[in-house]
Structure formats: C-alpha cells, structure tokens
Amino acid sequence: MAKIIVQGGVPLRGTLRVQGSKNAALPILAACVLVSGVCELENCPDLSDVCAAVRILRHLGCVVTRAGDRLTVDARAVIRAAIPDDLMREMRSSIVFLGSVLARTGRASLCTPGGCDIGMRPIDLHLSSLYALGARIHTENGALRCFAPGGLCGTELCLPFPSVGATENILLASATAKGTTLLRGAAREPEIDDLICFLNACGARIRTTGAGTILITGVPALHGCRHRVIPDRIAAVTYMTAVGTAGGDVTLTDTAPAHYLSVIRVLERAGCRIAFENDRLRIQSEGRLCAVPRIRTLPYPGFPTDAQAAVMALLATAKGVSVIEETIFENRFHHVRALRRMGADIAVNGRTARVKGVRRLRGAAVAAGDLRAGAALIVAGLGADGETVIDDVHHIDRGYEKIEACLQTLGARIERSADSGSTEPEQQYPLRLVPLQRG
Ligand code: EPZ
C-alpha cells in the first residue's frame, strides 16, 4: 500500500494551479447519460473517483476517452440500465447515476450505496423525490429496482434538508421529464450551479432563484455540448490550510474564491493574509496563527463540511482554543485520533471538537481514515517537527490530483513511497512513548 511521507517545517512558496472540481465533475459525468450525443468536459481532474464514474459510463454503453484534462463522453449508445454492485461500491456517490439512467432508459437497477466512514449517508430524499416524479421503486436486500415505464412527470418538490445528492438526482430526473418541476429547499453549492450550467448547455431549461428554488421545464431530448468544469473549492482551501500551517506565500490560480468565502474569512481570522481577484488568490502566513473561537459546518454558503478536517489540522497549532461543530455528517472526526498521535490537544464530545492549540505537532506514523481526513494529515505533517508517514493514501487519491507533486512545486518535502504490505502504521514504526492525550 502506498504511503505519503512528509518532512515538516518547510514554508511553502510559489504558484499552484487548482484542479477541476471532483464534486462538480461526478454529477456532470452522470448527466452525460441523459444526452444522446457527444459531450466534451474540460478541466476534469484525474482522480480515482472520476475513473470510477468513467467505468460506470462505459458499462452503460458510453464511449469515454481522455485527452489531458478533457473527457469526451459519447452516450449515443446507452444500452444498459443496471449498474453492477462492484462498480457502485467503488464510489458511494454513484447513486447520482440513478436519476439519469432512469430518465434515459425508463428503468434503473443498482445497489444502495450504504454508509461510509463519515456517516450513514441515507438516500431517502433521493428516493422520495424520484417517486414523486413518477418512478416506482422496489428495494430488497440493498438492491434498488426502479421503473418509469410511462416516463417521469414534473411535479412540485420541497427538500426538508438541502441535500446535494438529492438535488442532483432531481435535476437529472426532471430535465427531460414531461411538464415542469418546481424544487424548493434545493442545495445551493457551486457544484449544483455547474451541473445546471452543463444541462442548460445541452438544451435543458433550468432556472434558479438563488434562494434554493429551482424551476425545471422538461424538454424532449438533450444534445451534446462542450463544458468546462469549475475549479475545486475544497482542493483550494486544502492548499490554503497547508500554507497557513507550514507558513509561506503562495498564489493559487484557476480558482474561484467566491466559492469559498466562508473559509477565507475563517483563515483571515486565524491570522492569514489573503488577497484575491478574479481567478487568483494569494495567501501569506508567518508565525503562529490564532484560534478561531467557533466554527459550525453548514450547507452552502455556510462553512463547508469538506473543509473541516484541514482547518482543524491548521488550528491544532494555533494560539488558543477553537471549537468546531460538525452539523452535516455524524461521524466526521476520523482525523482527530491521528492528530492526537501527532501531539494535538483535541477533545471530542459528540459532533463538537474542542481544539486547544499546541506550539508544534510532531511527525508520526498515521493513516488516512477518509478522503478529507487524509488530506488534513498532510496539512498537519507540513507544519510538524520531523517526519510524518501517512498510510492508506488511496483515500486521498479519490479527491486530490497528484497532491504530493502539487506540494513539491511549492517547496514541500513530500514524497510517495509504493510500500509493499499494509500493516498498521503502529507495527511498522517503533512506538514513541508519549503522554496519552485525554480527549
Ligand atoms: C456531497 O455529498 C459531497 N459529495 C460531499 O463531499 C459533501 O460533504 C456533501 O455533499 C455536503 O456538502 C459529492 O458531491 C460527490 P448530502 P452528498 O446529500 O450528496 C442527509 C467529499 O469529501 N441526507 O448533502 O452525499 C445525510 O444525513 C464528499 O468530497 C439525508 O438525510 O451530501 C447527510 O449526512 C464527502 N437523506 C447530509 O444530508 C438523503 O437522502 C448531507 O448529505 C440525503 C442526505
């Protein structure tokens, strides 16, 4: 199992182009199933989750080719409506294919994605919305069999929670439905706007009011288009926390600061100097940062849950006490155990973490618990004394394109070792006897 090895204590300097957005590319790839034509997607990041989505598209009958950051999807010959469990289980967000496969073929068979490291991840809002649009859904032993023989029909929907995935499935299912769908309580993430922009470029008729209301007027068919995926806002804030933690002066390019203003405000309050204009953002940090008394993760435009782990890694060495409340997922503190191993003073009580900043973290052998937790350990290692070895880096590769190469261009001492075997980090490295951090 590959590992990432970080030598801490080196300030980051230079310019880094931010990758395309994983969470925009995935629903747009699923939307290609709706299009009986050819779509060209530019700025598509080369990630394992994107590869998983491509495997599903090919299984369904699409022809998909990649040239650099451009993916070309020819969905004229979609012939299947069933996605095998092994493909579904590679990436739990594959549930977003349900809406497009059902709309295109009139049926869909796939397994429920199930929970993951960060929570139960129910799909009740997806299923109830599709049912309201005319789908008939049978669930049995984790299998979903969906039918819409007479096609899907527009209706009025109101989500009790602005679920990103449910909003995406509703958009995909209603874009070519008969009649009009009025959706209230929709998610407002930038990735939703990008999906709408793609669908409208394919001939859909979708309007948003900005207050979580979306009007979808069904059209008979969609045609191919060329679309550029928005920049990845979570990758951007991850690199910003790396600079905040290690110190330095970095300019991010091909980024969209307006998509992560809530994180910019937090990092400014911690003491980072940030300036941005158009698609460039400069962040400078020197000396010890300050704690941020209270952070709550919220649906967009609130503070994003996906930035919580990396910002916690940054605050682990900030002066003072920061309190982070995770309101979106019920189990999203996997990074705490590893940060404690590195000397962090973090107490968790339910969905709230109390982070008392220590002067420095120390390198340790740790393991990535999930995608964002793994990236947070790299951030922590960049500011720590000594060497940090991160195992299970496959989690990180799901969402960060060549993360060690990106950080190397900024002067970080970081490398990937293709280590054989995957024993627990504790067994590989002599345990350092350290005082137990009482959580
Ligand atoms: C998307 O997940 C993102 N994934 C997540 O990013 C992100 O953290 C999340 O939105 C919130 O912003 C992708 O876009 C691929 P949700 P999704 O539906 O769609 C409840 C990352 O690290 N819920 O908004 O699964 C449930 O409790 C990933 O890139 C229901 O109750 O998020 C869940 O905890 C992690 N019933 C909460 O909403 C439902 O039917 C948020 O879920 C659906 C959701």
Query: How confident is the model at residue 79, as a pLDDT?
Result: 82
Which pLDDT tens digit goes with each residue over 163-206? 999 999 999 999 999 999 999 999 999 999 999 999 999 999 99
Ligand 1 neighbour 56 (Cβ under 6 A): no
Is it the case that residue 425 has pLDDT exceeding 50?
no
- Whole-angstrom Cα distance, residue 125 to residue 136? 15
Q: Which phi and psi (to 5°) does residue 387 adopt?
A: -105, 135
The architecture that CATH gives domain 4-19+232-416 is Alpha-beta prism (3.65)
Query: How confident is the model at residue 437, as a pLDDT?
Result: 41
H runs (alpha helix) in 175-305: 190-201, 233-246, 261-270
Q: How far is the CA of 168 from the centre of ligand 1 (A)?
A: 11
398 or 121: which carries more pLDDT confidence? 398
Number of H helices, E strands in the chain: 15, 23
Query: How confident is the model at residue 142, as a pLDDT?
Result: 86
Ligand 1 neighbour 57 (Cβ under 6 A): no
Answer left, alpha or beta for residue 287, where phi above 0 means left and psi between -120 and 50 means alpha. left
Is it the case that residue 434 has pLDDT exceeding 50?
no
Q: Which phi and psi (to 5°) does residue 391 adopt?
A: -95, 170
Which pLDDT tens digit goes with each residue over 332-359? 998 999 999 999 999 999 999 999 999 9
Residue nearest to atom 3 of ligand 1 (CA): 23
The answer to whether 234 and 307 have CB atoms below 8 angstroms apart is yes
Does 116 qualify as catalytic in the annotation? Answer: yes
pTM, entire model: 0.94
Topology of domain 22-228 in CATH is UDP-n-acetylglucosamine1-carboxyvinyl-transferase; Chain (3.65.10)
Residue nearest to atom 8 of ligand 1 (CA): 306
- Whole-angstrom Cα distance, residue 355 to residue 315? 7
**For residue 373, what are the contacts with CB-CB under 8 A and spacing of at least 6?**
117, 309, 334, 335, 338, 395
Is it the case that residue 387 has pLDDT exceeding 80?
yes
Between the alpha carbon of residue 90 and those of residues 21, 52, 120, 150, the distances in Å are 19, 6, 16, 31
Q: Which amino acid is at 286?
A: E
Q: ∠ CA 131-55-17 to the nearest 5 degrees? A: 100
Q: Which amino acid is at 83?
A: I
Ligand 1 neighbour 122 (Cβ under 6 A): yes
Which pLDDT tens digit goes with each residue over 55-106? 999 999 999 999 999 999 999 998 899 999 999 888 888 999 999 999 999 9
From 32, 39, 116, 197, active-site residue: 116
Confidence bin at 420 (pLDDT 50/70/90): low
Ligand 1 neighbour 188 (Cβ under 6 A): no
Query: Which residues in the chain are classed under CATH 3.65.10.10?
Result: 4-19+232-416, 22-228
Q: How far is the CA of 121 from the centre of ligand 1 (A)?
A: 7
- Tokens representing residue 144 in the block: 């979903």
Residue nearest to atom 1 of ligand 1 (CA): 164
